[in-house]
Protein backbone atom coordinates (compact mmCIF):
# COMPACT_ATOMS: atom_id res chain seq x y z
CA UNK A 1 0.00 0.00 0.00
CA UNK A 2 2.89 2.39 0.66
CA UNK A 3 4.00 2.02 -2.97
CA UNK A 4 0.53 2.97 -4.18
CA UNK A 5 0.44 5.98 -1.84
CA UNK A 6 3.91 7.03 -2.98
CA UNK A 7 3.02 6.94 -6.65
CA UNK A 8 -0.36 8.57 -6.02
CA UNK A 9 1.36 11.51 -4.32
CA UNK A 10 4.04 11.67 -7.05
CA UNK A 11 1.44 11.88 -9.82
CA UNK A 12 -0.66 14.40 -7.89
CA UNK A 13 2.37 16.66 -7.42
CA UNK A 14 3.24 16.36 -11.11
CA UNK A 15 -0.33 17.06 -12.20
CA UNK A 16 -0.45 20.14 -9.99
CA UNK A 17 2.73 21.48 -11.57
CA UNK A 18 0.75 21.66 -14.80
CA UNK A 19 -2.35 23.07 -13.11
CA UNK A 20 -0.21 25.84 -11.65
CA UNK A 21 1.69 26.67 -14.83
CA UNK A 22 -0.88 26.36 -17.64
CA UNK A 23 -2.99 29.35 -16.52
CA UNK A 24 0.26 31.33 -16.31
CA UNK A 25 0.72 30.67 -20.03
CA UNK A 26 -2.85 31.90 -20.51
CA UNK A 27 -1.91 35.17 -18.80
CA UNK A 28 0.83 35.64 -21.38
CA UNK A 29 -1.48 34.68 -24.24
CA UNK A 30 -4.10 37.18 -23.06
CA UNK A 31 -1.54 39.99 -23.23
CA UNK A 32 -1.92 40.08 -27.04
CA UNK A 33 1.65 39.20 -27.96
CA UNK A 34 3.03 39.05 -31.48
CA UNK A 35 1.83 36.27 -33.79
CA UNK A 36 5.13 34.39 -33.37
CA UNK A 37 4.91 34.55 -29.58
CA UNK A 38 1.24 33.57 -29.72
CA UNK A 39 2.03 30.51 -31.84
CA UNK A 40 4.87 29.49 -29.51
CA UNK A 41 2.72 29.90 -26.39
CA UNK A 42 -0.18 27.96 -27.93
CA UNK A 43 2.24 25.12 -28.70
CA UNK A 44 3.60 25.18 -25.15
CA UNK A 45 0.10 25.24 -23.66
CA UNK A 46 -1.06 22.34 -25.83
CA UNK A 47 1.93 20.16 -24.96
CA UNK A 48 1.63 21.00 -21.26
CA UNK A 49 -2.08 20.20 -21.25
CA UNK A 50 -1.48 16.79 -22.86
CA UNK A 51 1.33 16.04 -20.39
CA UNK A 52 -0.67 17.09 -17.33
CA UNK A 53 -3.62 15.01 -18.51
CA UNK A 54 -1.35 11.98 -18.76
CA UNK A 55 -0.25 12.70 -15.17
CA UNK A 56 -3.81 13.26 -13.88
CA UNK A 57 -5.01 9.84 -14.99
CA UNK A 58 -2.73 7.73 -12.75
CA UNK A 59 -3.18 10.26 -9.91
CA UNK A 60 -6.94 9.67 -9.98
CA UNK A 61 -6.71 5.93 -10.63
CA UNK A 62 -4.25 5.36 -7.78
CA UNK A 63 -6.36 7.55 -5.48
CA UNK A 64 -9.43 5.47 -6.32
CA UNK A 65 -7.39 2.30 -5.76
CA UNK A 66 -6.48 3.52 -2.28
CA UNK A 67 -10.08 4.50 -1.56
CA UNK A 68 -11.86 1.45 -2.97
CA UNK A 69 -9.19 -1.21 -2.56
CA UNK A 70 -8.03 -0.37 0.91
CA UNK A 71 -10.96 1.61 2.28
CA UNK A 72 -8.74 4.50 3.30
CA UNK A 73 -11.00 7.16 4.76
CA UNK A 74 -14.16 5.46 3.55
CA UNK A 75 -17.21 6.67 5.44
CA UNK A 76 -15.37 9.61 6.99
CA UNK A 77 -16.40 13.20 6.38
CA UNK A 78 -12.95 14.44 5.47
CA UNK A 79 -12.71 11.85 2.68
CA UNK A 80 -16.06 12.87 1.22
CA UNK A 81 -14.91 16.49 1.23
CA UNK A 82 -11.61 15.51 -0.37
CA UNK A 83 -13.39 13.55 -3.11
CA UNK A 84 -15.61 16.58 -3.76
CA UNK A 85 -12.52 18.75 -4.08
CA UNK A 86 -10.99 16.24 -6.51
CA UNK A 87 -14.15 16.51 -8.63
CA UNK A 88 -13.68 20.29 -8.62
CA UNK A 89 -10.04 19.83 -9.68
CA UNK A 90 -11.13 17.62 -12.57
CA UNK A 91 -13.67 20.27 -13.56
CA UNK A 92 -10.91 22.92 -13.38
CA UNK A 93 -8.77 20.70 -15.61
CA UNK A 94 -11.64 20.56 -18.08
CA UNK A 95 -12.09 24.34 -18.00
CA UNK A 96 -8.37 24.69 -18.71
CA UNK A 97 -8.93 22.59 -21.82
CA UNK A 98 -11.85 24.77 -22.90
CA UNK A 99 -9.73 27.92 -22.53
CA UNK A 100 -6.95 26.28 -24.53
CA UNK A 101 -9.43 25.59 -27.32
CA UNK A 102 -10.57 29.21 -27.27
CA UNK A 103 -6.98 30.46 -27.51
CA UNK A 104 -6.29 28.03 -30.36
CA UNK A 105 -9.32 29.43 -32.20
CA UNK A 106 -8.35 33.05 -31.40
CA UNK A 107 -11.65 33.41 -29.53
CA UNK A 108 -10.43 34.25 -26.03
CA UNK A 109 -12.62 36.87 -24.36
CA UNK A 110 -10.92 37.09 -20.95
CA UNK A 111 -8.28 39.53 -19.78
CA UNK A 112 -4.88 38.71 -18.38
CA UNK A 113 -6.24 39.82 -14.97
CA UNK A 114 -8.96 37.16 -15.21
CA UNK A 115 -6.34 34.47 -15.84
CA UNK A 116 -4.23 35.73 -12.93
CA UNK A 117 -7.23 35.09 -10.65
CA UNK A 118 -8.05 31.84 -12.45
CA UNK A 119 -4.49 30.73 -11.67
CA UNK A 120 -5.21 30.93 -7.92
CA UNK A 121 -8.00 28.34 -7.96
CA UNK A 122 -5.73 25.23 -7.87
CA UNK A 123 -3.74 26.77 -5.00
CA UNK A 124 -6.94 27.14 -2.99
CA UNK A 125 -8.15 23.63 -3.89
CA UNK A 126 -4.78 22.06 -3.04
CA UNK A 127 -4.76 23.84 0.32
CA UNK A 128 -8.21 22.49 1.11
CA UNK A 129 -7.26 18.95 0.02
CA UNK A 130 -4.18 19.03 2.26
CA UNK A 131 -6.27 20.24 5.18
CA UNK A 132 -8.72 17.36 4.62
CA UNK A 133 -5.92 14.77 4.40
CA UNK A 134 -3.66 15.90 7.23
CA UNK A 135 -5.92 17.72 9.68
CA UNK A 136 -9.11 15.74 8.98
CA UNK A 137 -11.37 18.39 10.48
CA UNK A 138 -14.44 16.12 10.36
Nearest 10 degrees: Cα torsion 77, 79, 80, 81: 90
**Is 82 one of the annotated binding-site residues?**
yes
Distance CA 127, CA 52 (A): 19
Residue pair 79/73 in contact (Cβ under 8 Å)? The answer is yes
For residue 91, CA distances in Å to 6, 52, 96, 125, 133 come to 24, 14, 9, 12, 20
Helix axes 77-104 and 2-30, enclosed angle (nearest 10)? 40
Binding-site annotation, residues: 8, 82
Binding-site annotation, residues for heme: 8, 82
Amino acid sequence: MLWIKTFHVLFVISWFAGLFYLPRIYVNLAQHNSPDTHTRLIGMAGRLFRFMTILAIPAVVLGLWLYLGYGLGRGQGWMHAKLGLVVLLLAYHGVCYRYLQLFQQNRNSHSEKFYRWFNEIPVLLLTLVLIMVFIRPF
